[in-house]
Structure 1
């Protein structure tokens, strides 16, 4: 009974420490693995001694295997094949040539600098050829870099994991079976990859077909069916040939994603949550089992080994693998710097340490210590500096202009015509045939379809525009469209008109959805104003300093609060963008707005403002040119 309680307490503390690390990572905007390593070591055998992973026995190996299977499946599930196609040549080279370069030169560095025997040196090199998708993914969410660079890093992290893990197993088999030939090593690697890919492909197709056709099964149960299928795929592949299961799970994830299953976002969310839990638990347990003395015993030679990997081997690999690509030197430099190691390296190294010791081969603790040293140095150095390096190299996602507007009502068409008139790209989407016809008459590009259709969204160019705005008359539908867009495409700016009662849910889920123009926009009311011609369209420039700007803000906000003014767009630093609710305007901002003008008295009420340049509407069909343009009187 006491032993059972001890194990229960072990799991509880592990989960609590792991999730706390994830929360701290989100709060401080740094990779959570930093806190996972700190908490794991602090609570482990060389720290407070609270966590003792060895009590799990062989259960730790089982836990590692099943958790890694989920992690790699989720990685494959998140890969976007259409995006990968844009960097396919470089990605192929990184997974093949890049692996070989890291394996050879990493092994040489470990032998000559860390003074490892050749066999152990190359076993270490095989463990660190992989980059960590569980580190790279969150890192790229925090540091928005060029899309091709992000795609290449994510693709490399997912696809190279099974290759590296299988390579490490083949090298270990060679060490344990000294009579193995080089040909056997190569054929063993290719055979495992091939068998895993075939089994994973078939399994992914079956899972995808089940998801699409088993309508009698509720969505929540379908997600659990996929989980069972992933573990079943892993187990079957492992039974046929050892260590082929990792390739099978990655392939299954890629095929399931490519099959276009319904409610894909629910599966992605479910698997994402499972992956966070698996990564949290594994890293805490593996770090807790780490001997700090074994790391210090490695000496400075091991530090130099990792530095060679970071500053010589990785840049050489990127240089060769991207030689014929159209990536510029800034993008290549960032790729050369970002290669943090993660959970696959740690888990496989921990298992190998046990196997080497069981077979009477020295070096188990040393190789585990050097792998964790590599993880620590790469994560701390590269993970914490990624944002600064991206800024220095100027490869952060550049401003994406234009908009996708869901809703071909009067307001949506007006904004579309203003965008078009200002030389910006714009596309409208609506299911209303008559509204779409009116948009076509205004020479606006339009898709007669649902904004919930990801294929239509992609055809509309959501991956390349700066803003998605949902302006239909149904606030709940608008919110649903915005949520789906974030999950599927993550555009830079997502706006939606939705009821106030949903605002807390949006904030609680940390979804980056804001209200356009003003809070709780009465879409139907303003559409009616536009239809009846009870409006004036104009622009003003924010001028003045200090109190003068504040006065302008107060004056404009008073008109907005009265329901007489609707701010639409702002041009700031030459960039046109849709205004979001409660946005603070800055000196030099050019505000394009609508005025509800049912009475002549409105102009008298605005008599305290001077006229300014007016908006050129010559190219805006069916919108009369209005001479009104206000420049709020300076205080």
Structure 2
């Protein structure tokens, strides 16, 4: 009874410490692995001694195997095949040629600098050819790097994990059986990849078929069926050929994700939650098992080995694998810098250390220590500086321009034209054919379809746009559309016109979807104002001397329902105004003012129909008659 309680306590401590590390990392916006490593080491034998993974016995290997299967399946599920096709050549080279470059470069570095014997040197290099998707993906989401770069890094992390793990098994088998020749090793590698690929493809298709056809199952039960299925595929593949299971779960995730399964968004959320839990527990347990003395025993040779891996081997890898690609030098430099190692390296190294020790072969603890030193150095050096580096290289997606706007109504058409006149691409989406034609008549690109269809959003190019704005007459629909766009494409700015407390906002992530323009915008009323010509378009620049007065005046008009701020120009970027936007000195506010004097606007409507907005030429404070934008109103609307 006491032994079972001790094991239970170990698991509880690991879970509590792991989730605490995730929460702290999220609040400070740093990679979670930083705190996972710190907490694990502090709780382990070299810290407070509260956590002893050896008490789990063989259960530790089981936890590592099943948790790693979930992590890699979720990674495969998240791969965007359409985006991958744009970088397919570079990705293929990274997984093949890049693996060989890292294997050779890493083994030479650790042999000459770390003084490891060649067999152990090759084993270490095979463990660090993988990059960590559990580190890379959260990191890229935090810094919002250019989508093409993010796709390549995420694809590399997911696809190279099983390849690297299987390669490491082949090298280990070669060490344990010194008579194994090169051809035998390569055939073993190919066989494992083939077995894993076939079982994964078949299993992924079967799971997607069940999810589509089994309508009698609730969504919650379907989630558990998929979980049981991926573990079943993993076990089957391992039974047929050891260490082929990792490839199986990745391929199963890719096939399942490409099958357009209903409620896939919710399934991904469930698997994402399991991945966070798995990563948290694994890193805590494995870090707690690390001996700090073995890390210090590596000396400067270990440090120099990792530095060579980071500053020589990785850049050479990227140089060869992206030679004829469309990546510019800034993107290539960032790719060369970001290659943190993660959970697969740590878990496989821990298992190998046990196997080598059991066979009486020296070097197991040294390899484990050097792998963890590699993880620590790459995560701290690259993970903590990636955001700063991306900003310096100007490759963050926050700088992305253009907008995808759902809903063709007078107010949304006005915003679309403002973006267009600013020189930014705009795509509008609406299911109403007549409204779509009216928008097309204003030289706007329109897609007549439903924005709930992910393929429509892809066709609109949302992956490369800076803003998504949902402005239909239904606030709840707007929120659902914005949430879907944020989860599937993660554009820098996602806004929607929705009520303050709609029923659909029970699961609102305020950091993802922002309320557009003003709270509780009466969009129908303002559409009528625009149609009837009872508005003026104006702009004002907030200056330091009268900032408070200007802001108070504008807010008073907003509260009175007489004004809505549409856009803000800040640092030469044009953005849709969020309702909770905090204004700053120097902001240029472009607003719409209600003016119930249509006769006055009629007398001011002498401007040509083709007059451009020329917002960049507007003075500090000026109101512009909407007559200059008469092309925006519907064809049957009264001309102001």
Give the whole-Å Cα distance in 2 for the aligned partners of 1:610 and 1:339.
47
Aligned to 1:97: 97
CA change 1:338–1:503 in 2 (3 A) is farther
> Is the 1:539–1:590 contact (alpha carbons within 8 Å) kept by the matching residues of 2?
no
Aligned to 1:488: 488
Deviations 1:253-311 (A, max 9, x none): 11111111111111110111000000000111111111111111222211111111111
Residue aligned with 1:262, SS: coil
Residue aligned with 1:326, SS: coil
Give the whole-Å Cα distance in 2 for the aligned partners of 1:228 and 1:78.
19
Give the whole-Å Cα distance in 1 for the aligned partners of 2:163 and 2:559.
60
Measured after TM superposition, the shift of residue 619 of structure 1 is 6.0
CA change 1:611–1:383 in 2 (3 A) is closer
1:538 and 2:537 correspond? yes
Query: What does 1:526-605 correspond to in 2, within 5 Å?
Result: 526-533=526-533, 535-542=534-541, 544-546=543-545, 548-598=546-596
Aligned to 1:621: 631
Aligned to 1:2: 2
Deviations 1:485-513 (A, max 9, x none): 00011111111122212599578634421
Greater mean deviation of Cα atoms: 390-399 or 288-297:
390-399
Aligned to 1:118: 118
Give the whole-Å Cα distance in 2 for the aligned partners of 1:247 and 1:427.
39
CA change 1:611–1:316 in 2 (3 A) is closer
In structure 2, stretches of 5+ residues that fail to align are 602-618
Deviations 1:156-176 (A, max 9, x none): 111110010000000111111
Greater mean deviation of Cα atoms: 589-598 or 57-66:
589-598
> Is the 1:571–1:577 contact (alpha carbons within 8 Å) kept by the matching residues of 2?
yes
Query: What does 1:133-172 correspond to in 2, within 5 Å?
Result: 133-172=133-172
Give the whole-Å Cα distance in 2 for the aligned partners of 1:389 and 1:418.
33
Deviations 1:361-407 (A, max 9, x none): 11111111111111111111111111222223232226222221112
CA change 1:543–1:105 in 2 (3 A) is closer
Residue aligned with 1:290, SS: coil
Aligned to 1:180: 180
CA change 1:494–1:172 in 2 (3 A) is same
Deviations 1:502-527 (A, max 9, x none): 59957863442111111110112222
CA change 1:169–1:83 in 2 (3 A) is same
Deviations 1:183-228 (A, max 9, x none): 0111111111111111111111111222222222111111111111
Task: Give the root-mean-square deviation of aligned CA atoms.
Answer: 2.5
Residue aligned with 1:583, SS: coil
Aligned to 1:632: none
Measured after TM superposition, the shift of residue 543 of structure 1 is 5.2
Greater mean deviation of Cα atoms: 218-227 or 504-513:
504-513
Aligned to 2:450: 450
CA change 1:592–1:47 in 2 (3 A) is closer
Give the whole-Å Cα distance in 1 for the aligned partners of 2:165 and 2:84.
22
Residue aligned with 2:631, SS: coil
CA change 1:218–1:178 in 2 (3 A) is same
Aligned to 2:258: 258
Measured after TM superposition, the shift of residue 68 of structure 1 is 0.6
CA change 1:398–1:473 in 2 (3 A) is closer
Residue aligned with 1:570, SS: strand
Measured after TM superposition, the shift of residue 623 of structure 1 is 4.3
Measured after TM superposition, the shift of residue 444 of structure 1 is 3.1
Give the whole-Å Cα distance in 2 for the aligned partners of 1:242 and 1:521.
60
Query: What does 1:22-37 correspond to in 2, within 5 Å?
Result: 22-37=22-37
CA change 1:614–1:356 in 2 (3 A) is same
Query: What does 1:30-109 correspond to in 2, within 5 Å?
Result: 30-109=30-109
Greater mean deviation of Cα atoms: 613-622 or 66-75:
613-622
Measured after TM superposition, the shift of residue 615 of structure 1 is 6.1
2:622 aligned to 599, 603, 612, which one? 612
Aligned to 1:212: 212
1:267 and 2:277 correspond? no
Give the whole-Å Cα distance in 2 for the aligned partners of 1:399 and 1:47.
44
CA change 1:553–1:415 in 2 (3 A) is same
> Is the 1:542–1:549 contact (alpha carbons within 8 Å) kept by the matching residues of 2?
no
What is the number of residues matched between the two proteins? 621
Aligned to 1:369: 369
Measured after TM superposition, the shift of residue 471 of structure 1 is 1.3
CA change 1:537–1:54 in 2 (3 A) is same
Measured after TM superposition, the shift of residue 569 of structure 1 is 2.1
Give the whole-Å Cα distance in 2 for the aligned partners of 1:385 and 1:442.
45
> Is the 2:397–2:466 contact (alpha carbons within 8 Å) kept by the matching residues of 1?
no
Measured after TM superposition, the shift of residue 250 of structure 1 is 0.5
Give the whole-Å Cα distance in 2 for the aligned partners of 1:16 and 1:379.
22
Aligned to 1:396: 396
Measured after TM superposition, the shift of residue 328 of structure 1 is 2.0
> Is the 1:421–1:619 contact (alpha carbons within 8 Å) kept by the matching residues of 2?
no
Aligned to 1:382: 382
Measured after TM superposition, the shift of residue 242 of structure 1 is 0.7
In structure 1, stretches of 5+ residues that fail to align are 604-608, 629-635
Aligned to 1:606: none
Deviations 1:596-621 (A, max 9, x none): 22369999xxxxx9973636854641
Measured after TM superposition, the shift of residue 422 of structure 1 is 3.9
Give the whole-Å Cα distance in 2 for the aligned partners of 1:617 and 1:162.
62
CA change 1:571–1:100 in 2 (3 A) is same
TM-score (norm 1): 0.93
> Is the 1:506–1:513 contact (alpha carbons within 8 Å) kept by the matching residues of 2?
no
Give the whole-Å Cα distance in 1 for the aligned partners of 2:625 and 2:362.
78
> Is the 2:196–2:246 contact (alpha carbons within 8 Å) kept by the matching residues of 1?
yes
> Is the 2:536–2:623 contact (alpha carbons within 8 Å) kept by the matching residues of 1?
no
Residue aligned with 2:501, SS: helix
